[in-house]
Chain A
């Protein structure tokens, strides 16, 4: 078991250590720290995946005290899926970030440290096994993300970062208030000890609300569209793929593993909020005048699906939601990466400039189309698999409302995806763009395309992920 302990430590301490080293090294050497930090920890996931497949959960206990007294880390199948999304998106985003913030330049030093700290925070949040550890990890993630958004030029990025900061801090306060209540009442903060920690509803609602702000769940999403659409492309990719999701996964964990028998009324209420998010996000995405805004609002819509797990609460729903998280993370990140390249070349992402893009940037257009198919959930794609599992879960618990919702949501996504595709590839107005900027290196296009392909291909061979998720049902699942 010791070997796995080291590996789990590596997940957090490789990016953290390299972040510190990157600050200290002279700019000319910085790239080695960046490469090590960005590429080494994903390698650790391979042995960890094998271990999870065998043992389902790995725990790491500090100082020999087992929970609830000591604090520890815990890795399960769901956490592993999040880590894989993080790793894949992180690697795919690297070329774009590299090209934009060359490590050799002195002024890009902060970016790379923040980039690695963000990775640290996300990994830590996935591993955290007690409520306070989770709080620290989420704070770390948020602060790094705020600073990363602000690295983009212009006042818009700065104000978006500011708005995100204020709301996220508000969310943290609510969350930590709930944690305080729990601690005062029970004297324990362990997340995976149902029965030891009995949550009262006030604490539960406080923590959930705090996490929903961080995850940008409608109607607490107001920071998201501006933050995503003004952040540099690689940052937006990471944020949409994992930063919001770790908060959501934490919400699932608290709901299923910490809370004992949460009220069904609340589950249905949260499901309805998810439904609202799906509809609102899709309608808003359809109305946006900028490509990155469309993608950002689409995230709000797709996050809604992840809340449907609460009312559906069965094994298939868990597999479906987990798979949706994976497919959406890959697809959405690929869209943001493609959009970043489009902005680089066209100088803007206004959809009025999209006509003719299929000629100028065929790889990007293809990436948008492939990722769009996954988002709509058309077969065969990762999105379809996730939706199908959620559908069969709705069938299993006889939730007709959810069934209709899931089915109709595809149409709503189709509306905004095909609007973009029609503009990109078939619109007659081949508007002359006054000045085309230099094309970013091909590798950035291929990285986005690979992510989009992966999002489709996992739909053809979903067994490993589904099996993994099937063995690790959260506490309440039958």
Chain B
């Protein structure tokens, strides 16, 4: 048991920790590098501690709820359920690692105060999304996320970065507008409802079926923009001009996952999968997810720019989450949700490695990877582990997700979905195996640019980040049966949704 006031104060505290860090970083200015590093690390640690604390209490059955009336009858609600903890702990862990990585990566670049300030704000927004207790709160933080990631996307200030920023805003703000419409509509129908497992709209289905169907489409489209559902994914590859830590964060934790998380909440906690099926929306959702998985992989196959290939791979992989949720049942739901964590770990590793190759060796194209395995064995090893995980090689984490998804598809009697999963695995292999071959088997090529000299400590920090996440890819796969593994946590969540 903990004091009642702590259960109210902790959810906003988790959100505000990084907001405070951001304020300190902004006020301290560009020159106070040492202070900035310490504030960054301390805030990241503190956040992790808080999330773990809340997680343990949630496990013990404690309820966390913070309410704040924003408008008459319209509340800002922050709460912590098992699903929030899943996303929050993923963000907290990966934020810590990415902070270490980013400090080293940006050691000599200008505008670091601005970068780290918005970086922290961005994590604040992500935490808000994780902890949101109703759609309005989710929407508010979703919009804040757009605002706080835009400065990161355009950080370099090159014409390409500015163009990417424009494209990003065009997509995400339009998505936000679509969401706002759906939200106002839903609010008119159902009032100020909190997330409830199994949804709260079932009583309205008889009378307002058509409207609910339209609202569902709007919600999925609004969240789908950030989740990169094809054809709403256009911003993602362009946003790759951002610095590598940003790409890593965008893909693994913040933006893309926020979209996927919104879809999970919509399907499970607003509508309930039964209602979605009853409205005839389940099969279209599955179809969209499958379509995105295949098209994303095909587009990745066509791409020769390393980070952009990874971006298309994200488009494809994030839809696994949507697919699992839409197929439903204990197995598939678990598979989809656990992919939220697993994809995050693998993708952040890949981006870390791509960033290191780019920063230290000036590598940005796939054919420049030749023979890098011997030059940078640790980084190349991490890259290889994550790429193999993406393909779904046992016992890596990617395999766990896919295994559950595949069994779930069979259990739900959907062999076509299984076919899509197998095709996708083959496509994944087709666009990742050549990279691995180039890294280890091809003779070293000549690099266009001379290696950039950076200090010993930053170099270690960069490698440490990549290797640490890669280690998690392996360890969490091997120890998937452990009671505290993400898989077991997710199965617990899924039991709440699909008994």
Beta-carbon contact of A388 and B71 below 8 Å: yes
Q: Does A378 contact B (CB under 8 A)?
A: yes
Residue of A nearest to B113 (CB): A362
Q: Does B6 contact A (CB under 8 A)?
A: no
A379 to B142, CA, bound (A): 10
Known: A373-B147, A392-B184, A395-B188. A379 touches B162 (CB 8 A): no
Looking at B172-180, B254-262, B319-327, B431-439, the stretch in contact with chain A turns out to be B172-180
Complex Cα gap A379–B159 (Å): 29
The answer to whether A466 touches B169, judged by C-beta atoms less than 8 angstroms apart, is: no
The verdict on A289 contacting chain B, using a C-beta distance below 8 Å, is: no
Looking at the complex, which one of B158, B161, B181 makes contact with A407 (CB distance below 8 Å)?
B181
Does B206 interact with chain A (Cβ within 8 Å)?
A: no
* A43 interface residue per 8 A CB criterion: no
Point out the residues of chain A lying under 8 angstroms from B177, CB to CB: 407-408, 410-411
Please give the distance in Å from A184's CB to the nearest CB on chain B. 45
Q: Which residues of B contact A427 (CB under 8 A)?
A: 157, 162
Write the nearest CB–CB distance from B370 to chain A, whole angstroms.
Answer: 33
A-side contacts of B69, CB under 8 Å: 463
Q: Is chain B's interface secondary structure helix, strand, loop, or mixed overall? A: helix
A373: nearest chain-B partner, CB-CB: B147
Is B486 in contact with chain A by the CB < 8 A criterion? no
Contacts of B76 in A (CB 8 A): 380
Q: Which residue of B lies closest to A462 (CB)?
A: B71
User: Does A426 lie within 8 Å of B165, measured CB to CB?
Assistant: yes
Q: Select one of B74, B157, B184 contacting A403, CB under 8 A.
A: B184
B155 at the interface (CB under 8 A from A): yes
Chain A residues whose CB sits within 8 angstroms of the CB of B162 once the complex forms = 422, 426-427
**For residue B144, which residues in chain A have a CB less than 8 angstroms away from its CB?**
378-379
B69, B159, B180, B181 pick with most chain A CB within 10 angstroms = B180
Most buried by B among A380, A395, A426: A426
Decide if B74 touches A388 in the complex (CB within 8 Å): yes
When distances are taken between beta carbons in the complex, the residues of chain B under 8 Å from A466 are 71-72
B51 to chain A, nearest CB (A): 23
B71 contacts which chain A residues (CB < 8 A)?
A: 385, 388-389, 462, 466
Q: How far is the CB of A394 from chain B (nearest CB, A)?
A: 8
> Which A residue's beta carbon lies closest to that of B178?
A407
Residue A64 at the B interface, CB < 8 A? no
The residue of chain A having its C-beta at the shortest distance from the C-beta of B189 within the complex is: A395
Tell me the bound Cα distance from A191 to B155 in angstroms. 56
The 0/1 profile, CB within 8 Å of B marked 1, for residues 368-379 of chain A is: 000001000011
A227 to B158, CA, bound (A): 36
Is A460 at the interface (CB under 8 A from chain B)? yes
Partner of B158, one of A385, A428, A459: A428
Query: Nearest CB to that of B159 among chain A residues?
Result: A428
Q: Of A380, A392, A411, A422, which contacts B188 at CB under 8 A?
A: A392
What separation, in Å, do the CA atoms of A428 and B156 have in the docked complex?
8
Q: How far is the CB of A388 from chain B (nearest CB, A)?
A: 6
What chain B residues lie within 8 Å of A385 (beta carbons)? 70-71
Interface size counted on chain A using CB atoms at 8 A: 31
Decide: B180 and A407 in contact? CB cutoff 8 A: yes
B143 within 8 Å of A (CB atoms): yes
Q: How far apart are the CA atoms of A378 and B146 in the complex, in Å?
A: 10
Most chain A CB within a 10 A radius of its CB, from B71, B173, B185, B187: B71
Task: List residues of A (345-394) whose CB comes within 8 Å of B's CBs.
Answer: 358, 373, 378-380, 385, 388-389, 391-392
CB–CB A379/B188 < 8 A: no
Q: Does B139 contact A (CB under 8 A)?
A: yes
- The complex places the Cα of A321 from the Cα of B76 at a distance, in Å, of 22
Q: Given the complex of chains A and B, what is the CA–CA distance between A426 and B180 in angstroms?
A: 28
A358 to B155, CA, bound (A): 13
Chain A minimum-CB-distance residue to B188: A395
Q: How far is the CA of A396 from the CA of B158 in the complex (A)?
A: 46
Residues B70 and A426 in contact, CB atoms below 8 Å apart: no
Q: What A residues does B165 contact at CB under 8 A?
A: 422, 426
Q: Would A428 and B157 be within 8 Å (CB), given that A392-B184, A407-B177, A410-B173 are in contact? A: yes
Write the nearest CB–CB distance from B451 to chain A, whole angstroms. 25
Within the assembled complex, what's the spacing in Å between the Cα atoms of A463 and B71?
7
Known A426-B162, A428-B157, A460-B70: A380·B140 in contact at CB below 8 Å: yes
Given known pairs A392-B184, A462-B71, the reply for A411 and B174 (CB within 8 Å) is: yes
Contact of B155 among A392, A411, A426, A463 (CB under 8 A): A426
Chain A stretch 389-438: residues in CB contact (< 8 A) with chain B: 389, 391-392, 395-396, 403-404, 407-408, 410-411, 414, 418, 422, 425-428
- Closest chain B residue, CB of each to CB of A398: B188
Q: How far apart are the CA atoms of A379 and B162 in the complex, in Å?
A: 24
Closest partner residue, chain B, to A376 (CB atom): B173
> B355-378: which residues lie under 8 A (CB-CB) from chain A?
none
Task: Name the B residues within 8 Å of A358 (CB-CB).
Answer: 114
The residue on B at minimum CB distance from A408 is B177
Q: Which of A254-285 contact B (CB under 8 A)?
A: none
A410 to B147 alpha-carbon distance, docked (Å):
14
Residues of A within 8 A of B155 (CB): 426
Residue of B nearest to A323 (CB): B71
A288-317, CB < 8 A from B: none
Measured between beta carbons, the chain B residues less than 8 angstroms from A422 are: 154, 162, 165-166
Considering the complex, which residues of chain B in the window 414-456 have a beta carbon less than 8 Å from any beta carbon of chain A? Answer: none
With a cutoff of 8 Å between Cβ atoms, the chain B residues found around residue A411 in the complex are 173-174, 177
Determine whether B151 belongs to the interface, using a CB cutoff of 8 Å to chain A. Answer: yes
B184 near A388: Cβ-Cβ < 8 Å:
yes
* Cα(A301)–Cα(B150), bound, Å: 25
Listed residue (A373, A418, A427, A466) with the most chain B CB atoms within 10 angstroms of its CB: A418
Q: Is the CB of B184 within 8 A of A380?
A: no
* Complex Cα–Cα for A396 and B185 (A): 10
- Interface pair A379/B74, CB less than 8 Å apart: no
Given contacts A373-B147, A379-B139, A380-B140, contact A426 B161 (CB under 8 A): yes
Q: In the complex the two chains form, is A414's CB within 8 Å of B169's CB?
A: yes
- Interface of chain B residues 39 through 54 with chain A (CB within 8 A): none
Q: Which residues of chain B have C-beta atoms less than 8 A from A408's C-beta?
A: 177
* Residues 330-381 (chain B) with a chain A CB within 8 angstroms: none
Report the minimum CB–CB distance from B20 to chain A (whole Å).
Answer: 16
A389 to B147, alpha carbons, bound, how many Å?
Answer: 22
Which has the most chain A C-beta neighbours within 10 Å: B157, B159, B162, B169?
B157
Quote the shortest CB–CB distance from B111 to chain A (angstroms).
9
Closest to B179 in A: A407
| Residues 118-172 of B at the A interface (beta carbon under 8 Å) | 139-140, 143-144, 147, 150-151, 154-155, 157-159, 161-162, 165-166, 169
B residues less than 8 Å from A392 (CB atoms): 184, 187-188
Contacts of B173 in A (CB 8 A): 410-411, 414
Q: Give Cα A144 to B184, complex, Å.
A: 43
Q: What is the CA–CA distance of A460 and B74 in the complex, to the nearest angstrom?
A: 12
**A459 / chain B contacts, CB cutoff of 8 Å:** 70
Whether A426 pairs with B143 at a CB distance below 8 angstroms is: no
Q: Tell me the A165-184 residues at the B interface (CB within 8 Å).
A: none
Provide the residues of chain A in CB contact with B154, threshold 8 Å.
422, 426
**What is the bound-complex CA distance between A184 and B48, given in angstroms?**
76
Complex-state Cα separation, A403 to B173, whole angstroms: 17
A418–B170 Cα distance when bound, in Å, is 11
Task: Name 18 A/B residue pairs within 8 A (Cβ), A-sorted.
Answer: A385-B70, A392-B184, A392-B187, A395-B187, A407-B177, A410-B176, A410-B177, A411-B174, A414-B169, A418-B150, A418-B166, A426-B154, A426-B155, A426-B157, A462-B70, A463-B69, A463-B72, A466-B71
Beyond A378-B143, A411-B177, 18 additional contacts (C-beta under 8 Å) are A378-B176, A379-B143, A388-B71, A389-B71, A391-B180, A392-B184, A392-B188, A403-B184, A408-B177, A414-B169, A418-B150, A418-B166, A422-B162, A422-B166, A426-B151, A426-B162, A459-B70, A463-B69
* Contact surface of B with A, Cβ cutoff 8 Å: 69-72, 74, 76, 114, 139-140, 143-144, 147, 150-151, 154-155, 157-159, 161-162, 165-166, 169, 173-174, 176-177, 180-181, 184-185, 187-188
- Please name the 9 residue pairs, one residue from A and one from B, whose CB atoms are nearest each other, closest first: A379-B140, A395-B188, A428-B157, A426-B154, A391-B184, A426-B157, A407-B177, A407-B181, A378-B143
